[in-house]
Amino acid sequence: MSEELIEKSKKLAAFAAVNENVLKSDRIIGVGSGSTVVYVAERLGQLEDKEKFICIPTSFQSKQLILDNGLRLGNVEEFDEIDVAFDGADEIDTNLNLIKGGGAALYQEKLVASSSRKFIVVADFRKQSPEKLGHFWRKGVPIEVVPNSYVKVLKDLFKLGANSATLRDAGKAKAGPVVTDNGNFIIDADFGEIPLNKVKELDEKLIRLVGVVETGFFVDYAEKAYIGNEDGSITSLSVSVPARL
Ligand SMILES: O=C[C@H](O)[C@H](O)[C@H](O)COP(=O)(O)O
């Protein structure tokens, strides 16, 4: 699978999503994190009325994207009612429920998504599951935890039936675990393929574990998904989700 094809499909999805979902009346825009959202920021920066936008970041990387594309940076404390937010996903099921957090940005992403009227997902073809979460994304659901709780949470995840649960290591970038923009750790917990009607139930069990800050399950958030396909076409999916604002 060529990197060029993947990048092209990301850009196709992102540009279509921005072109079709930023309304004349929209001013406060949420900007997600990751490599697909790079193209969302690029497209926003090309719009003739970009000066009117106030863009709300979901990570330090997201802040950089906003500034690098000449967009005005805002913050979720001041702008807690966001007109539309765009973000990527690690996997998308047929209900448009998501796994996110592959880049450890899930907490601020969910804060922005929960503060947005519209939440639009953009992704390349590798992210669309034929049905269930956990089909292609085998690294487990990312869970942000308070650092001193990680031993307890790891044990609790196995009690909940996780096949594996690991503290995310920073690898060559840094000795020791990944530390999020919020000063927390990430645990990746694999529960295998998750039936469509079990995602919400599992998410509710995870979020109740002492030490868990937020999970990478985005349940009933995305109302639309734009997926760039290998053949250059775009799949646009939509579902109804509960109003958030
Ligand atoms: O933590 C990172 C975010 O959830 C990303 O939106 C997600 O990992 C998808 O990233 P990418 O667009 O690079 O595949």
Structural domain includes residue 133: no
119 & 156 share domain:
no
Structural domain includes residue 134: no
Sheet harboring 185-190: ordered strands across? 164-167, 185-190, 141-145, 212-215
User: To which H or E segment does residue 217 belong?
Assistant: strand 217-218
110 & 162 share domain:
no
- Model confidence pLDDT, tens digit, residues 184-236: 999 999 999 999 999 999 999 999 999 999 999 999 999 999 999 999 999 99
Residue nearest to ligand 1 atom 3, measured at CA: 101
Euclidean distance between CA atoms 234 and 245, whole angstroms = 29
Ligand 1 centre distance from Cα of residue 186 (Å):
14
Structural domain includes residue 117: yes
pLDDT score at 220: 98
196 & 232 share domain:
no
Identify which of 33, 61, 124 to mutate to test ligand 1's pocket (most ligand atoms within 8 A of the CB): 33
Q: Does pTM top 0.90 for this prediction?
A: yes
- Model confidence pLDDT, tens digit, residues 194-205: 999 999 999 999
Q: Which atom of ligand 1 is nearest to the CA of 100?
A: 4
CATH number at residue 202: 3.30.70.260
Prediction ipTM score? 0.99
146 & 85 share domain:
no
Q: Which amino acid is at 129?
A: S
Strands 116-124 and 224-228: parallel
76 & 184 share domain:
no
Q: How many CB atoms lie within 10 A of CB 161?
A: 11
88 & 165 share domain:
no
Ligand 1 centre distance from Cα of residue 33 (Å):
6
Ligand 1 centre distance from Cα of residue 154 (Å):
23
Q: Is there an atom of ligand 1 within 6 Å of 101 CB?
A: yes
1 pLDDT exceeds 90? no
Euclidean distance between CA atoms 90 and 79, whole angstroms = 27
Q: Is there an atom of ligand 1 within 6 Å of 98 CB?
A: no
pLDDT score at 15: 98
CATH number at residue 8: 3.40.50.1360
Structural domain includes residue 132: no
Q: How far from 29 is each of 7, 63, 94, 187, 237, CA to CA, in Å? A: 23, 12, 26, 29, 21
120 & 197 share domain:
no
Residues forming the active site: 109
DSSP 145-169: E-GGGHHHHHHHHHHTT-SEEEEPB
Structural domain includes residue 136: no
- Model confidence pLDDT, tens digit, residues 132-149: 999 999 999 999 999 999
Mean pLDDT of the chain: 98
86 & 160 share domain:
no
Q: What domain range is 176 assigned to?
A: 141-215
Residue entry with tokens 């979901």: 58
The region, left, alpha or beta by phi > 0 then psi within -120 to 50, assigned to residue 104 is left
- Model confidence pLDDT, tens digit, residues 63-122: 999 999 999 999 999 999 999 999 999 999 999 999 999 999 999 999 999 999 999 999
Structural domain tally of the chain?
2
Structural domain includes residue 245: no
45 & 110 share domain:
yes
DSSP 41-64: HHHHHHSTTGGG-EEEESSHHHHH
9 & 117 share domain:
yes
Q: Is there an atom of ligand 1 within 6 Å of 105 CB?
A: yes
105 & 193 share domain:
no
9 & 89 share domain:
yes
pLDDT score at 18: 98
Residue nearest to ligand 1 atom 2, measured at CA: 103
